[in-house]
Structure 1
Amino acid sequence: MNISTIAKLANVSTATVSRYLNNGYVSEEKRQKIAEVIARTGYTPSSSAQTLRTGRNNLIGVIVPKISSESIGRMVDGITEIVNHSSYQVLLANTGNDTERELEYLKIFRTNNVDGVIFIGTLMSKKHLAIMRSYKKPIVLLSQQESGVSCVYFDDYGAAEKATDCLIRSGCKRIAHLGVTLRDKAAGRARRGGFMDTLLKNQIPVHEQLIVECEGFSTPDGQAAMQKLLDRGETFDGVFCATDTLAFGAMDCLRQAGISVPDQVCVSAVGNNRMSAIYHPHLTSVNLCHRTGGMEAGAILMEMIQNHVELIQNAQMQCQLFERESTNRTV
């Protein structure tokens, strides 16, 4: 069964059937005839034939660093809502935080049969940027901001400001920071910058010995970083953590050491993980609007594909502080 057969059964030309299948103009009388034949025969258009006619596969490549991350899951959820609504499907590539695998997938999607790509970036390198800037098809960078490519990014600096300011309003005077590598411009560099600048604006000293760079983003990484501070005998009354998962680990370590949160040490973080309102004590955290960011990235990509928009676009998401028990103490 092909469009020639459909055309004969409907007593119309193959060109008319082709226009019908591609949403072109067809008179109502002929449209009804074609629809009746298709319904009777159960005909479905060949995806490869549609690709030849339209030049599109209706596939979007999405490269993610870690599928198990809640923030990544929210971004992907936002992307798929927009993309699916536009009758496109998502081809997901999970790199497992492997930089070489990220580069490999960027190269694969550059030449493979996808109509566009969304790359959720973390540790950006010159190689990443060179590949993205060489794309002849639409590509959007999500979660990082770089020049020469369309980007949707989060207010990591502002989130750190809000989380740190909350600690100061809770009466904290000597505040530690559990961060991540500064090679990560968003979660590492921007959040540490927001933390340090907020202390200085409030005339609170920045103690370098109270800043610990965690090995990763996990709860055990937060536990290990907090243990380093305790083993060194450092004193502090507040802790700003770059992510919620680091904060959970830090609070667990403090609890095991017999240190009460928030009575002795207040804790704030960035991410607003679902566990933030469940973990005890409930964690004060800043929501970066990851799902909204995913939707924005999906919308920009769809506009680039469907309307042939080549203009580089940038969008920053807003953030919101949720104050909970971990900073709620009497000053």
Structure 2
Amino acid sequence: MKKMTMADIAKVAGVSKTTVSRYFNGGYVKEETRQKIEKIVKEYDYEPNVLAANLKANKTHTVGIVCPTLTSYASSRMMMNIDQFLKKHHYATIIINTNHDELDEIKSITKLTQLRVDGIILLATSITMAHRDIASKSSVPIVFMAQAYDDGVSVINNDYEAGYKIGEYIYSNGHKNVVYAGVSRKDVAVGVIRRQGVYDGLQNVHPHFLETDFSAEKTIDKLNDYLKNHTCPTAIICATDTIAMGCMKVLKDHGLRIPEDVSVTGFGGYWTSTVMSPALTTIKFHYAHAGQTAGQIILDMIEEKEVERATLIDFTFIEGESVRSI
């Protein structure tokens, strides 16, 4: 049996080949016509030659996603929603994990450009001069996520206001002996902006800074060392829920009760934070919305539409059971 072509579908449907092409490329087609074409496609089990069509249109209908890790709750939620959103618009994604290697991020952007992707979304841990250089020279539109990029387009969490909310909450509950467990200033969003929000919210309380990374393992080691040489704080504010989980394990191992002896807060609003005992007081960032927003922005940039330079994703404060008033 002769293989069905796009021209054959147009003939059977009684429409132009251009209309059929728009259907397969996600363009506007009247609903009645769309249903008619869809019925014919299913009946004849037609599969378009995507590669040939893309080469002709000088598009690959792919978007590259560069991420620092595949194990992070935040990253995985954002990537999943980016992928789902783009699929609905007939785009495939190529995901590259860099394992927090900044040099690999730059190499990955180059590699994706060579693969002729139509756009790139970078979940950045920091923005270096190398990032700025490659972004300024790139012929492919790039959206930065999680870190503000003043010379380009970014989708960022409202880190300062989220930090201020937690700091203010701990201060209003009477805590004066506070530890802030956070990451280095290399990560501007979390290590600088979120931290400054916390400190400002605490007003005249000056917390001890306990530097860790994003892992529970390192946090456990750092807090164990801290407790050997310092009196136990009444509250620990953690830069992420994962850091909070590490702190809660250490406190329980030391026979300390949460929140009776030590209050703990986090940032992230992970699902696991709600089923912990006690449930964690935290900030829930809207990762699904962030992913969908980034997906829409990169599509608009591919179509050369005007977009906002910076899009701020808001948050929700979740009052759990891990903080007491003193």
The TM-score bracket by the shorter chain reads 0.7 to 0.9
Query: Hey, what does 1:240 align to over in structure 2?
Result: 237
Contact 1:226–1:250, Cα closer than 8 Å, also in 2:
yes
Cα distance between partner residues in 2 of 1:196 and 1:4: 62
Contact 1:239–1:265, Cα closer than 8 Å, also in 2:
yes
Given candidates 289, 295, 299, the residue that maps to 1:298 is 295
1:325 and 2:321 equivalent? Answer: yes
Structure 1 residue 192, shift from structure 2 partner: 1.5
Contact 1:153–1:316, Cα closer than 8 Å, also in 2:
yes
Query: Hey, what does 1:17 align to over in structure 2?
Result: 17
Residue correspondence of structure 1 range 150-169 to structure 2 within 5 A:
150-169=153-172
Residue correspondence of structure 1 range 1-331 to structure 2 within 5 A:
1=3, 3=5, 6=8, 16-17=16-17, 20-23=20-23, 42-199=45-202, 201=203, 203-204=204-205, 206-207=206-207, 210-214=208-212, 216-306=213-303, 308-309=304-305, 311=307, 313-327=309-323, 329-331=324-326
Structure 1 residue 198, shift from structure 2 partner: 1.8
- Bigger mean CA offset, 82-91 vs 243-252: 82-91
**Structure with larger RCO (C-alpha < 8 A, sep 6+):** 1
Q: What is the aligned residue count?
A: 319
Q: Which amino acid aligns with 2:257?
A: S
Cα distance between partner residues in 1 of 2:41 and 2:325: 72
Cα distance between partner residues in 2 of 1:128 and 1:48: 30
Say which one has the larger Rg: 1
Contact 1:6–1:37, Cα closer than 8 Å, also in 2:
no
Cα distance between partner residues in 2 of 1:266 and 1:42: 60
Gaps of 5+ in 1: none
Identity %: 26
Cα distance between partner residues in 2 of 1:97 and 1:82: 25
Query: Partner of 1:270: helix, strand, or coil?
Result: coil
TM-score computed with the length of structure 2 as normaliser: 0.88
Q: Which amino acid aligns with 2:185?
A: L
Query: Partner of 2:150: helix, strand, or coil?
Result: coil
Cα distance between partner residues in 1 of 2:127 and 2:28: 46
Contact 2:9–2:20, Cα closer than 8 Å, also in 1:
no
TM-score computed with the length of structure 1 as normaliser: 0.86
Q: CA 1:6/1:36 → structure 2, altered by over 3 Å: closer, same or farther? A: farther
Contact 2:60–2:117, Cα closer than 8 Å, also in 1:
yes
Query: Partner of 2:86: helix, strand, or coil?
Result: helix
Cα distance between partner residues in 2 of 1:25 and 1:147: 34
